[in-house]
Every structure is written in C-alpha cells, then in structure tokens.
Chain A
C-alpha cells in the first residue's frame, strides 16, 4: 500500500517532475533569501537615526544596477522556460507498445475498460513497467483524471477523446482523484490505481468475468446491427472477412499498412472511409450515430475474439 505516502513517486515522469520542482524551489529560495536578506539588512542599518551613511546614491546604483537586474531576470526567466521545456522532451519516444485502456467518466464515477474487455469501476489495475495509454471521455460534464503519485492529470471532456500516457514504475495502490469540479459528489469521485507485477496483471485480467460476456455482447451486436450481412464469409457483399484480422497487419489502398488494433477497428466502425482495405470498395456506412462507446468496446472485443492468439493474450 502506497496510499498514505504523501509524496510517492510511482511513474517514470514523477521523478522528472520532482526534480524540476526541486531545482525551481532552490532557485526561488535563492532569490527569496537575497531579497529578504537585503530588506533585513537595510531595515536594521537604515532604521531612523542610525549612524549609517546616507547621502546620494552611488552612481552605479542608478542605471547599471537597474539594467543589470532587468537583464538578469529576463535571462533567468528564459533559462527556466527553456530548461523546463527541454526536460520532458527527453522523455518522448518510449519504445514499448502501450497498453490502451479506455476511461469513461461520469457523475460521479470512473468506468474502466481494459483491452480484453475487462471492466471495473473506480479502480484501475495496471501492470508495472508497461507504458499505459489512456483514452478518456466523459458522458456529462468536464472531469479530470488525476493520479498524484504518477504526477499525471488530464481533463476529461464530453464528446471528445483525450489521451494521457504514463509509465508506472512502482507496485502499490495509489489515489485516483477527479480534479475538475463536477457537481454535488465531486469529492467522492475518487478511486484507486493498483499497480501489479505484469504476470499478476495478466492473470487478473483473464479472470475478470466480463471479458467473455463482452465478446458475446459484441457478437450479438454484430448481427443485430447488420455487420454480419456483409462481413460474414458467406455474404454476397464484397467486404473483408474479419476472422484472424485483429492484431495483424492489414494492407490498405495506396500501399499503406496498418496494424488492426483497437483504434483501427474503432475508426473503421466510425470513419469507414478513412482507411480502406486494399481490394475493397468504400461502401460501408459510418456507424458513428448508431453505436455508443460501450457498444464499440463490445464490438472490438468480439472482433478480437475472432483472432484466437490475440484474445488469449
């Protein structure tokens, strides 16, 4: 349990943020001490009636020093800005494939859907040492996904998918907060992030009962929405066979290639004209006003289940 440890660092980024903060604190304290040492010295030395020399200001106190500290302050501000921008830029380009997890926020709970369809509410299980890529949306007002131990936060907006990436580095249980005021029970919109060993996470995910039912739901939708009318191998309409597609490379028109992952399947349902599979006509209608986010998850789970090695992972 890391809850209760006020300043736990549990992501790759956390150490960077804390270092930034430490450096800025040191610079700030130096400025602060400089100013208030001077104030204190002046207040004592030049208190009314003291013997200190008064008279006119030395020549250097007039122009040079003013120009000097103006230039110094400008330089310091620019330096801190440059340094703060450069530090996180070095973190970019994490090589490992990210674990994509969908987050649905609503008044006042967090719904989580893992890649295999496992669902949970107000808890988020994660494997340690694996980059995590959250795809988040809100069903009502603006919320904000905040895990202090990861030093990670992003507002979650209605009708827009926002993304947040981080790499958990520490096993333990951490706070999940909603950081944007969202109404009556805002302060109860909290949860736990449970970072586990990778094997434990894989095991946990497999034993979640929802994964089977999600794919089954998806299968039912696949028929009821009419997808099977074209995509069934026996169909007369010329549409790609979806068996064994998920997780593999798909050849697109124009010679491009794409890996059929969640984002691709989601795009294909909502924006079918975006990536046309080589050799097929762009005849599929968009389902963007037909299916909701949960149904898309179910469809993705079903399509994943058509690729046996993928669904076993």
Chain B
C-alpha cells in the first residue's frame, strides 16, 4: 500500500506542477472563494447575534448579572450584596442601575413631530440611573456617546439621551417609534418621573448615546445620585440590576457560586451573561447558523461539481496516458489516488489562501469596521472548531471530487484506452 500511495503522490505532484497555470489559478481562486463564502457568510450571520451578545455583555450584564427574583421589584439588602461584591477578589468591579419610567416632553407647542389631533409631543421612556464612574470604568459606556459628552461629577439636571429617541423628520415619517425630535446636546427637555406627581422638571441633554442596547438607546441615562434624589424613598428600595465584571481567566460559575453562597438566594438571581440573555437570541443564533449551513452546503456542492468536472476533463484528455500507465503495471488504485491527491492539493492551496485572506485581511477589517446594525455591531464570528470543521468538509468533498472521475476513467478497458477506442 505504501508503494501505491508513494507513486500516486509522486504522480499527483507532477500533474499539479505541470497543469495549466491559468486553469490552476482559476481552480484555486474558486476554492478560496468557496472557503471564504463558507466561513465569512456564516461568520457574519452568526456575528450579528454574537455581536449583540457581546454588546450586551460588555455594556450591560458583564460576565455575571444580578437581578431581583420575580417576587421582588428591586434588589433588596443591596448594601450587604455590595459588601460581598467588594470583598470578592475575582470581581474587578460592578455597576448597579436604578430603573424608572418617565414621560418626556420637548418643545411641544411648536414641534413638527406632533401628530394629528395631539395636543403635545410626549413619549414614554425608561430612565436608568447609573454610577457614572463605574459605568465608565467597567463597562466603558462613555465610549458610546456619539454627540456631546459623558457625565462629570459636577453635572446637575443633566441627562444623556438615547439616540433612538431622536430622529430627523424624514426618519420619523417612516416609523411608528415615538421620538422627541432632532434633539441636540445643550437643548432642554422636560421629564416627569413615575410616581412623581410634581410638575415636569427641566433637564439639559449633555450627550446622545448609541450603545445598541435598547435600555439605553430608547431611554435616558441620569446619574443615580440625581435619580435617587428625585425619586426619594422609592429609589432606596434598591437597584434593579447589577452588572459584574470578573477577572480574566476566572469562570463566571465560580463567581456566581461564591456570590450565591454569601447572599440570600431568595432575593436575587445571579446568572452568567449567556444565561441572562435568554432563549430569544439563542433561537435567532440557531436560525442564522441553519441559514449559513444551507448557504455553505450550496457552496460546497458547487465547488465539488467544479472540481469533479476539472478532474474528469483532465482524466478524459489523459485517457491514453492512463491506459499506458495501467499497461506498464501502475495499479488502477494508484491512478485513482493520484487524482484524489491532485484534487486535495488544489483544495489545500485554495484553503491556505482563504485562511490567509481571512486571518490577515477580513478579520482585522471587520474588527476595525464592524457592520453597523441597529441591534449590534456585526462582527466576523469565526471559531477554531467551526473553521476546522469547514476545512475538513471541503477536503472530504475534494477527495470525493478527485476520486470519482478517476475511478470512472480507470475502470475502462486498458487496451481500449491505450488504443484510443
């Protein structure tokens, strides 16, 4: 068997090196494209969801997310919890958020956004009270400001507005989303907080945020010290959620277990980011994977057929040569393997070029220029096991595409092929 493989490899390398350079270049180009199609299309489709998951984790939940249990509206005994979090050496930091509903008004008397029959322009939105330092240090929320600036300690009556609450006239005409209008930093809006019966208070918009997190983009952000001052007693009930960042190389489960062990688990849910994201995104992810697999299958079939045709034509044109080789004693298996190796070589070079383009061009490009989707920054999501599976699949199909045509030719009568009849 060793002789068979050695001779087949010898023949394949010679066929490969002496094959028409343009034809070889074309075959390799198509294989590289197929490989990229397999990896990039699925990588982008899944990347939309992964980008979303990553965004949620990086900007909201952290690696561990703490929320009240269903029976509780807020996280109770939060001072004890803060103490537990402060003393856990695996936790880098955490950020508690206080959430309230509010009604927003802006320029209602003259607004062009007023709809027929409406007295004024107002919208309902979520107000999130945050620790401005912790959000900046551990969640880098300040980097998502697209206009204006992030909070400073001395800010009073200042808010950051979610970009989905602002819109130009044209955008507004095509959507049912209620917006305040084309609000710019420096402008004043009025807010009436939930459970606050006093008149709406005036706030200056100091920045516009585009975080692709609905909690922020469809709401307003205010320092928690200010929110608690406005809401009074109700805010003291506790934060609505806490995002926790943990040290590198520490498993979230370890931190979750230690938090649970030190707190009253009837009051809080402590979950990993993945668990807290829920089934919805998981289902979308599954759908996209299914979709990309379907597209990938088509690509693989196309490249298999192409390789089959190329090898078949090559073998047909070399029919007499194959007959002579069989005549002088080269076994049919050797000849079949030689074409299989030839196909393998084309696939190998195509895949190597594809991987180089992927690693040195596409991944850095999409990292630097994520695709701007409304709900996420689309990244090119490529995992090593996924990559290996696709490469393996391509090689299996290429082996099949090389072996089958050679099998069809070598099974013909030796003498007939030598004599060309």
- A associates with B: no
